[in-house]
Structure 1
Amino acid sequence: MSRDLARRTLVAYDVPDDKRRLRLAKCLETYGDRVQYSVFVIDCSPAKLARLSDDIEEIIRSEEDSVLLCDLGLVMSLSDKVFRYIGRSRDVTDDEAIVL
């Protein structure tokens, strides 16, 4: 895959069940960076994002849980202005690293 196709996705979730929430968080940690308690930033190819979506669907109960996937755009075109923190900030993996 060309790095030109890598996209940054913001993933936020609301899962009331502790066990499913923990499973989901562990899954997301394998794909990207936790930037808030229930918010992750993931840089990956479209194919990897499709696998992530499948993994999420296997974990959650769609009638009870909610997961938001927000496409922030191509990694190569992102600037420092995409994220703005007030208070303590969290590190996001350097844009040179990519999950394939």
Structure 2
Amino acid sequence: MRRDARRTLVAYDIPDDRRRLRIGNALAAYGDRVQYSVFLVDIGPVKLARLIRQLESLMTDDDSILIGDLGPVDGGDSRCTFLGRRSGIKRDFVI
């Protein structure tokens, strides 16, 4: 993982099934789905810019995507905890 990689939370609200599937597939190429419309992505700034351009090209005015920077991948003071069903993400991790 790059030293400048950031843990990034991406959540989306896409009313159209076809676009929602395309957005989900695009995000799956970059990170892990943690809920139906929420992904956790460890990504550097260049790839993040590429991902944003890709997402914007798939969106319409009816869609919204939230991209939240959770801090450096290699540590920090915040902690996230997942409850219930989850994919390959560790249950607890420090941000």
Q: TM-score band (shorter)?
A: 0.7 to 0.9
Alignment of 1:86 onto 2:83: yes
The alignment covers a number of residue pairs equal to: 90
More helix by share: 1
Query: Mind listing any 5+ residue stretches in structure 2 that lack a counterpart?
Result: 91-95
Partner Cα separation in structure 2 for residue 11 and residue 78 of structure 1? 19
Summarize the Cα distance change of 1:83–1:91 in structure 2 as closer, same or farther, 3 Å threshold. farther
TM-score, normalisation: structure 1:
0.81
Q: Flag as ranges the 4+ runs of structure 1 deviating above 3 A.
A: none
Q: Alignment identity in percent?
A: 50
Partner Cα separation in structure 1 for residue 89 and residue 31 of structure 2? 8
TM-score, normalisation: structure 2:
0.85
Partner Cα separation in structure 2 for residue 18 and residue 89 of structure 1? 23
Q: Counterpart of 1:42 in 2: which secondary structure?
A: strand
Question: Higher relative CO (CA 8 A, sep ≥ 6), structure 1 or 2?
Answer: 1
More strand by share: 2
Partner Cα separation in structure 2 for residue 44 and residue 86 of structure 1? 24
Q: Counterpart of 1:10 in 2: which secondary structure?
A: strand
